[in-house]
């Protein structure tokens, strides 16, 4: 139909539309959908079926922690490309009874029989990325029980029942998961137990195919009935010991039995009136806080989203924070004091997050030129994952992140157990004296970080995203999108992202940033911004992401409702009731 044949009423309507009209009613053309709003509870995960599992738990009277555990178990089955009970877990919980945040560090330690000297004696200059050598104790199951003991309502057998059922009966594989699964199979099939338990006749399941994992169902059933001891001290642990002994690994029954995660105090910084919370090292969460502290000194009320000033200042702040990340972040039981002096570790974090220190670091930024190399600050005298968040009718909110590290992990899958071990030990540095050097019983530098924002002492946003070194960069961008650029919760995740690499390598070692690193921009940034960034000395390349996989829940105290968001880079869902 030509324009002249359109009814006069429609022609009048089109003529009345403003010239700058966009598809989204909020005016943000990158937003994929509206926020989700509900009064009684909310869940946002990277898999719709896991979101529904969480909602079912909430409707049955479970707490937000119960819902998070149930959802995490489900995603471990449904999205093994990013997580599972062979990995680690971190969480931040808002407790409405005490009106406080609680942090949990569920990272596992390296085998006690594996030393830096062993790697040297056997010709390794770095920890291998896959196989038995990068395996550390998996902390997820212990994390479930620690969280459940303090904040759970329903019995663990109730929380694991949906996943056990899906594992036996099957569930359809989603598109993004099928894609990454297919990429992992050629790499991991050489490791014992992987092909037998994670392929269909040697290939990955395709989109829409039903996937069953009866071995995982048996393992979860044993955990549901026997508690954490069934995993860390029973026959499962003995099977793990025998498997690694047979295949040249170092993880032993004693390592499993000795594992305990720990409750930690979250740390924060105030950014333009809101308090942003992360967990302290051995994770990288405080890098996000350092980035924000540096950027707080610039007036972003006068800087537009996507402008060259926005991107340039963000990348330069990131470079400075990541130089400190490479130099100072490590297991507090080993660094900065060799005797595990936690007071020294806490003092280090306070120094790194000090506003005066941020002012000092900010002076190193040239507003017109990209830095080619930066050093860590003198604060002492001497990155694949899933994220989910849940909230309940009582006001409890949970920010939980869990990972096997590199995609599906190490490839090591003990027969009959239905899960793959993480390869988090790859993050260790094989260098004497480095804060993150390999040592027996040590927790490696960790990339997975949950986040939380409070405002006026009240819970506001529980959020996180996936993606190795992208995570603190993404956390800082989410906060800026909400606070500086006035985006809503959904828009803050959908907005095109900035990703810079080159300040540190994946193990957290300082690198010679001779060319200033590489700046990746997702589609959506203006061409003029890209041109100007190149003029300022940035090496700009197209994004090869996706960079992240954001989920978030916000509390609207005025109306007494929750707001949920799940971005388009994953196949996730935010839903409430």
67: enclosing H helix or E strand:
helix 64-78
Please say whether the beta carbons of 272 and 483 come within 8 A: yes
Residues facing 387 on adjacent strands: 401
Please say whether the beta carbons of 91 and 68 come within 8 A: yes
Instruction: Report the first-to-last Cα separation within the chain, whole angstroms.
Output: 44
DSSP state of 24: S
Tokens of 159: 């929380």
List helix spans (H) across 189-307: 194-198, 214-226, 228-232, 235-246, 253-258, 285-295
Number of residues in the chain = 577
Please say whether the beta carbons of 368 and 390 come within 8 A: no
Please say whether the beta carbons of 418 and 399 come within 8 A: no
- CA 240 from chain centre, in angstroms, equals 27
Give the separation between CA 284 and CA 319, rounded to whole angstroms: 14
Give the separation between CA 305 and CA 484, rounded to whole angstroms: 9
Phi, psi of 475 (to 5 degrees): -60, -50
* Other beta carbons within 10 Å of 340: 12
Q: Please, which residues have CB within 8 angstroms of residue 558's CB and are 6 or more apart in sequence?
A: none
Please say whether the beta carbons of 129 and 507 come within 8 A: no
Tokens of 427: 């993050």
- Per DSSP, the three-state class of 122 is coil
CA dist list (Å): 103 to 94, 390, 413, 463: 9, 15, 30, 14
Catalytic positions: 385
Give the separation between CA 167 and CA 235, rounded to whole angstroms: 21
* Other beta carbons within 10 Å of 393: 16
Tokens of 401: 């992140």
Instruction: Give the residue from 90, 492, 543, 497 showing the smallest Cα distance to 318.
Output: 497
Please say whether the beta carbons of 214 and 208 come within 8 A: no
Q: Please, which residues have CB within 8 angstroms of residue 298's CB and are 6 or more apart in sequence?
A: 313
- Per DSSP, the three-state class of 460 is strand
């Amino acid at each position: 139909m030509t324009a002249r044949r359109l009814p006069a009423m429609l022609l009048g309507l089109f003529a009345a539309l403003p010239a700058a009209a966009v598809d989204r009613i909020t005016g943000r053309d990158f937003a994929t959908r509206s926020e989700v709003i509900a009064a009684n509870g909310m869940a946002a995960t990277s898999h719709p079926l896991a979101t529904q599992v969480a909602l079912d738990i909430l409707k049955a009277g479970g707490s937000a922690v119960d819902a998070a555990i149930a959802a995490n178990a489900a995603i471990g089955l449904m999205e093994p490309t990013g997580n599972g009970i062979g990995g680690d877990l971190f969480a931040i919980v808002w407790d409405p009874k005490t009106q406080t945040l609680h942090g949990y560090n569920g990272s596992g330690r390296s085998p006690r029989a594996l030393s830096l000297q062993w790697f040297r004696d056997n010709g390794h200059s770095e920890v291998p990325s896959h196989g038995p050598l990068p395996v550390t104790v998996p902390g997820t199951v212990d994390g479930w029980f620690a969280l459940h003991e303090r904040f759970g309502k329903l019995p663990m057998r109730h929380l694991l029942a949906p996943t056990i059922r899906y594992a036996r009966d099957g569930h359809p594989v989603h598109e993004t998961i099928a894609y990454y699964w297919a990429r992992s199979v050629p790499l991991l099939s050489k490791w014992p137990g992987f092909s037998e338990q994670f392929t269909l006749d040697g290939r990955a399941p395709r989109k829409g195919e039903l996937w069953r994992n009866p071995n995982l169902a048996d393992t979860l059933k044993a955990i549901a009935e026997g508690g954490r001891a069934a995993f860390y001290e029973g026959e499962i642990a003995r099977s793990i010991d025998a498997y690694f002994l047979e295949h040249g690994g170092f993880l032993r029954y004693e390592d499993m039995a000795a594992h305990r995660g720990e409750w930690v105090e979250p740390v924060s910084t105030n950014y333009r009136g809101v308090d942003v919370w992360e967990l302290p090292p051995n994770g990288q969460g405080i890098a996000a806080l350092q980035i924000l502290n540096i950027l707080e000194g610039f007036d972003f009320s006068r800087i537009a989203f996507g402008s060259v000033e926005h991107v340039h200042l963000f990348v330069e702040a990131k470079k400075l924070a990541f130089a400190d990340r490479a130099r100072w972040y490590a297991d507090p039981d080993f660094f900065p004091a060799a005797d595990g002096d936690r007071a020294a570790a806490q003092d280090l974090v306070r120094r790194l997050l000090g506003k005066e220190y941020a002012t000092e670091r900010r002076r190193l930024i040239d507003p017109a030129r990209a830095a080619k190399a930066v050093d860590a600050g003198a604060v002492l005298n001497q990155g694949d994952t899933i994220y989910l968040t849940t909230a309940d009718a009582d006001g409890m909110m949970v920010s939980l992140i869990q990972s096997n590290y590199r995609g599906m992990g190490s490839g090591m899958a003990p027969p009959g157990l239905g899960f793959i071990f993480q390869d988090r030990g790859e993050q260790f540095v094989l260098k004497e004296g480095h804060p993150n050097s390999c040592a027996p019983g040590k927790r490696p530098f960790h990339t997975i970080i949950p986040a939380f924002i409070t405002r006026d002492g009240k819970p506001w946003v529980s959020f996180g995203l996936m993606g190795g070194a992208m995570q603190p960069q993404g956390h800082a961008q989410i906060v800026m999108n909400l606070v500086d650029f006035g985006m809503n919760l959904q828009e803050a995740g959908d907005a095109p992202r900035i990703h810079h690499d080159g300040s540190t390598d994946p193990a957290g070692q300082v690198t010679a940033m001779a060319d200033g690193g590489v700046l990746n921009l997702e589609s959506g940034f203006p061409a003029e911004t890209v041109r100007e960034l190149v003029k300022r000395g940035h090496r700009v390349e197209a994004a090869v992401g996706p960079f992240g996989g954001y989920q978030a829940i916000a509390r609207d105290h005025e109306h007494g409702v929750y707001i949920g968001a799940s971005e388009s880079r994953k196949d996730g869902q935010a839903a409430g009731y």
